[in-house]
Amino acid sequence: MPKWVWHKLYGAVGARLDGMIEVVNFTKRFGRVAAVNDVSLTVKPGEVFGLLGPNGAGKTTTIRGMTGLTRPTSGTVRVAGFDVWREPVKAKGAFGYIPDRPYLYGKLTARELLRFIAGLHKLPKADSEIERWLEFFGLTDFSNELIETYSHGMKQKLTIISAMLPEPPVLIVDEPMVGLDPRAAKQARELLSDYAKKGKTVLLTTHSLPVAEAVAHRIAVLDRGHVLAEGTLEELQRRTSEERSGVEGNTLERIFFKLVEEEELERQRVKDAA
């Protein structure tokens, strides 16, 4: 459909249809240091968006801005059209959040926790869904044990289930594969891909190039609080291979190091000129 027809049909709600997650000029300072500096991103329905960057790049801070856990120093974040800071209840109704470290109440069993969540969301067919999820991650035999007895990986699996059980339109995931064994990591990758295929919106952060390459439709490369580049893997490949030829391979790893290297050179140029 031509773009103008799309606009005529959906113009009124275009903003919401266009981006389920909209980060606009988001900056977060801690004292004098900007952990995230003027980041803008849009994530569309049906998309897995990867926020990729080394440790300390500002990924978790960006996610905390998206989930209303930290107040932007400036800029806005909207989820499903709602300003996360100004309309937190509406925004929070639209997303599930999987933090980088599981925060679960240890004095419940897994089954109790999941029933509690199902009750909060008034989910139909909750019991069969809960059993299906426990089975999927191999937790059935442990489902009546207290969560405080769980290993890190088991807690991580339970956190994933807790966020996905209510089937929110948007899923925000911080370093999903960390702490999972290879089999569970593969399952998690497939879960996120399948979730987007259902028309849901998925944003994940990762410091792992293979993870971004395997699941993300679009990628933003974040370094020291700045977005260095954004696009599909193919677009990033094109961008970095046009700028300098003669470098072998087109893996995300090469692209990533190239972008970081360009950024370094630019920083040096600015320094030299000063």
Ligand X SMILES: Nc1ncnc2c1ncn2[C@@H]1O[C@H](COP(=O)(O)OP(=O)(O)O)[C@@H](O)[C@H]1O
In the complex, the residues that contact Mg ion under the rule CB under 5 A are 59-60
CA distance 91 to 79: 6
What is the token pair recorded at 253? 């790893």
Nearer to ligand X, 55 or 128 (CB): 55
In the list Mg ion, ligand X, none, the entry touching 209 (Cβ below 5 to 8 angstroms by class) is none
CA distance 127 to 53: 39
Nearer to ligand X, 80 or 211 (CB): 211
- By rule CB under 6 A, what count of residues binds ligand X? 10
- CA dist 10 to 57, 66, 154, 208, 240, Å? 36, 25, 43, 37, 35
Tell whether residue 206 is a contact of ligand X (CB under 6 A): no
Work out how close the CB of 59 gets to ligand X at its nearest, in angstroms, rounded to a whole number: 3
In the list ligand X, Mg ion, none, the entry touching 53 (Cβ below 5 to 8 angstroms by class) is ligand X
Mask for 22-61, x = binds ligand X (CB under 6 A): --------x----x-----------------x-xxxxxxx
Q: Count H helices, E strands: the chain?
A: 11, 10
Question: 149 burial class (0-12, 13-18, 19+ CB within 10 angstroms)?
Answer: exposed
CB 219 within 8 A of CB 252: yes
Alpha helices in 20-151 (DSSP H): 59-66, 88-92, 110-120, 126-136
* Residues 60-119 close enough to bind ligand X by CB under 6 A: 60-61
Q: Which amino acid is at 68?
A: G
CA distance 204 to 63: 9
In the list ligand X, Mg ion, none, the entry touching 30 (Cβ below 5 to 8 angstroms by class) is ligand X
Work out how close the CB of 28 gets to ligand X at its nearest, in angstroms, rounded to a whole number: 8
Nearer to ligand X, 94 or 222 (CB): 222
Work out how close the CB of 55 gets to Mg ion at its nearest, in angstroms, rounded to a whole number: 7
In the list Mg ion, ligand X, none, the entry touching 48 (Cβ below 5 to 8 angstroms by class) is none
Nearer to Mg ion, 55 or 245 (CB): 55
Q: Which amino acid is at 227?
A: V
Contact positions vs ligand X (CB under 6 A): 30, 35, 53, 55-61
